[in-house]
Amino acid sequence: MAESPKRYLKAFVRVLVGSLFIVVVIAITNFPYDSDAPFTYEEMAAARKFYTEAYSQSFLDNRERFESEAEYIDGIKDQIAAFVKSYNLDNRAVLDVGSGGGYLQDMVRNYTGLDISPTAARFYHKKFVVGSATAMPFQDGSFEGAWSIAVLEHIPNPEQALYETRRVLKDNGVLFLFPSWNCRSWAADGYDVRPYSDFGLSGKLIKASIPLRSSVAFRLASLIPNRLIRTAAARFGPTKLHYRRLVPNYERYWVPDSDAVASIDSHEAMLWFLSRGDRCLNCENASLLLGLGPLIIRVHKSGR
């Protein structure tokens, strides 16, 4: 009978070691290894073509539905209204990075929309500028506030977009940043919504793995170890933005973010700003379990 406690202890140790091994494997395979690198001419041309055609006549015909869905699903207008009120931006120069159909242009008086698609210009009665988020046609410190909604994950070089957004903001300017965080690699091919019969063996295995990979336990195992590593790296000075590069689908929009090119973690984006001396106004006391909501950043250009 004396052997029983030892046997249970050994079994516990084996389970613990096995669990840690699984966590390490999950973390390694989900580590954000990618950082900005120039896209090819063909990749950029495909993206420009997709977003130019996105604001075609069909968008115009359905604009009211798209706007009501955005407000209903995400409450974006309510959140931006609260942001504007909290930081007294109503009469100040504000930039909308990746402004799309311009459904936020009336949130402030002094509004400028920036979008890569020239065909979006028809939707604006306020200032609209055609341009890339990675090379904005504005002077340093042109704006006192900015927001970017569901855009960063669609930019081939998202860190450059953050540099540019920070550059065009004044010192002490505020940013509301709300991309789709942690986009799924399987969104491009619509694994969530297509039947098993659409796929070969490898596709069937990917589809079957989605419930596990979407589970809370799996997400924690992939996020927390990597957040710990990246937090330690940020202590040594300004970090690079690390993310996971995705292959976008510009042919068929199966689900939201089928056209995403980057999967970015909110904690990683927070560290990018904090390591430059900026302040996160809604996550300073956040734990490693920081969620998927917006980041509100106050830029301090005198920081490191």
Is there a domain that residue 17 lies in?
A: no
DSSP string, 22-77: HHHHHHHHT---B---PPPHHHHHHHHHHHHHTTSHHHHHTHHHHHHHHHHHH-HH
**For the chain, how far is it from start to end, CA to CA, in angstroms?**
63
Rg (Cα) of the chain, in Å, rounded? 22
Q: Residue 73: which domain range?
A: 22-298
Contact 145, 93 (CB under 8 A): yes
pLDDT tens-place values along the chain, 304 residues long: 456 777 767 776 677 777 777 767 777 888 888 888 877 777 777 777 777 766 665 555 555 545 545 554 468 999 999 999 999 999 999 999 999 889 899 999 999 999 998 888 999 999 999 999 999 999 999 999 999 999 999 998 999 999 999 999 999 999 999 999 999 999 999 999 999 999 999 999 999 999 999 998 988 888 999 999 999 999 998 999 999 999 999 888 888 899 999 999 999 999 999 999 999 999 865 666 667 789 999 999 875 4
Q: Which residues neighbour 108 within 8 Å (Cβ) at sequence distance 6 or greater?
A: 84, 89, 90, 91, 92, 94, 145
Q: What is the CATH number of the domain that holds 140?
A: 3.40.50.150
Instruction: Identify the helix (H) or strand (E) that includes residue 10.
Output: helix 3-29
Integer CA distances (angstroms), 164 to 15, 42, 289, in order: 48, 23, 28
Task: Give the model's pLDDT for residue 73.
Answer: 46
Is there a domain that residue 205 lies in?
A: yes
Integer CA distances (angstroms), 221 to 10, 27, 59, 153, 197, in order: 24, 6, 40, 22, 31
Is there a domain that residue 55 lies in?
A: yes
Tokens of 207: 């589809």
What is d(CA 92, CA 70) in angstroms, rounded to the nearest whole number? 25
What is d(CA 203, CA 55) in angstroms, rounded to the nearest whole number? 32
What is d(CA 177, CA 162) in angstroms, rounded to the nearest whole number? 10
Is there a domain that residue 159 lies in?
A: yes
Is there a domain that residue 9 lies in?
A: no
Task: Give the model's pLDDT for residue 1.
Answer: 46
Q: What count of other Cβ atoms lies within 10 Å of the Cβ of residue 126?
A: 15
Smallest CA-to-CA distance from 245 within 134, 153, 162, 116 is with 153
Structurally, how many domains does the chain consist of? 1
Task: Give the model's pLDDT for residue 62.
Answer: 52
Burial 89-115 (b: 16+ CB within 10 A, else e): beebbbbbbbbbbbbbbebbebbbbbb
Is there a domain that residue 10 lies in?
A: no
Is there a domain that residue 94 lies in?
A: yes
Task: Give the model's pLDDT for residue 3.
Answer: 61
What's the one-letter identity of residue 92?
R
Task: Give the model's pLDDT for residue 285.
Answer: 59
Is there a domain that residue 3 lies in?
A: no
